[in-house]
Amino acid sequence: MATLQKIRSQALLLLIVVGVALFAFIIGDFLTSGSSLMRQSQETIADIDGSPLNYKEYDARILEMEEVYKMQTGQSNLQADILHQIRESVFETIVRERLLDEQAEKLGISVTAKELYDMVNGQNVHYMVQQMPFFQNPETRRFDRSMMMNFLRTIQEEDFSMYSAEAQEQIKQMKNYWLFWENNLKYVRLDEKMANIITKAVGANSLDAKDEFEAGRRSVDFEYASKSFASVPDSSFKVSLKELSRRYEEQKERFKQEPYRSAAYVVVDILPSQQDNEAIKARIEKLAPEFTTADNITATVNSESDIPYVDCYIANSQFSGSLNDFVQEAAIGEVKGPYFEDNAWIMLRMMEKINRADSVKARQIFISNANDRKAAEQ
């Protein structure tokens, strides 16, 4: 009894405690739901005609586009400018798809599975499919329908246990690649349908044709007189300095010119005189004995010739004219010249000849070590 009496005496305090607890519970739930709404608002990066774009969707589409670009180009690392272009392209694609979906729904337009199938495997395969590298014959570089069908059959299989783990990952990438282009094909066809509707809606009707015909038949007769501006005396007008300054400021950009330079020159061919030719002839005739007997032919040629000495064998097909004749007929050690040809004094000396095959056939067998590959992957 004493305990009950004590509780009754503290009833007001008990009601206040219970009320505060209930209020805290309600407020906590409200704040929790409010944080969720706030989080959704923070994840929205754009508003496309009233439809929010979540950054997770945007980021997923970017990763998808990067993988497609890598598969098509064979690149594993993308440069910063390419990544920037991909981000812009993905955003523009999402905006285009959202707007097309909205307008197509209002007009009752859609792309059926049958239409998509016809674009891929119909009589006239869509050009986007024909340009895919996976569907082009490596020899002819042209679209191969059988390769496409094998590709589609492979990615549509349900059981991949027969393939290795690496092959399964490649098939998964190929499937994602195809789903990306399949989605693009859908919107390409949707865009074509919208364009056809707009084109047919703006065509001329019979009323337009009649109105155009009637307008062409109308004619007007009138008389007019003109007076030349030059016939008006300049004294009839007063132009202030302020008006000239304002006019100058308005028009000066029209007469702006880039700085330029003009030059006049005369081209004179520098040809040797008769005295120069005689001096060169005397010098090369003096050099001929040394050229014929020198053991270190490299030093002799490099010190006197404009063409440096090349210490290697050269194929006969590289020579022409008199040089080819000398190569074909001269014996080892034989010397020809000096003689003048094509504005140059020439001396030839046969150093050595050798017969060699012009091609080599090689075969290789590559053996992969599975243990080394696993160690490299780890």
| pLDDT above 80 for 333 | yes
Q: Give the pLDDT band (50/70/90) at residue 34.
A: very low
Count Cα neighbours of 338 within 13 Å in the Cβ-side half-sphere: 18
Sign (positive or negative) of CA dihedral 301, 302, 303, 306? positive
CA distance to 109, 191, 203, 205, 261, per residue, from 194 (Å): 8, 5, 15, 20, 56
29-33, 64-68, 162-166, 261-265: lowest mean pLDDT where?
A: 29-33
| pLDDT above 50 for 4 | no
Count Cα neighbours of 102 within 13 Å in the Cβ-side half-sphere: 10
Count Cα neighbours of 189 within 13 Å in the Cβ-side half-sphere: 21
| pLDDT above 70 for 290 | yes
What pLDDT does 26 receive? Answer: 54
Residue-wise pLDDT tens digits, 72-122: 777 778 888 888 888 888 888 888 888 888 888 888 888 888 888 888 888
| pLDDT above 60 for 17 | no
Count Cα neighbours of 343 within 13 Å in the Cβ-side half-sphere: 4
What pLDDT does 15 receive? Answer: 52
Rounded distance, CA 59 to CA 53, Å? 11
Residue-wise pLDDT tens digits, 340-374: 888 788 888 888 888 877 667 777 777 766 555 54
The mean predicted confidence, pLDDT, of the chain is 78
Q: Give the pLDDT band (50/70/90) at residue 338.
A: confident
What is the full DSSP assignment across 232-258? S-GGG----HHHHHHHHHHHGGGG---
User: What is the average per-residue pLDDT within 120-126?
Assistant: 81
Residues forming a β-bridge with 346: 339
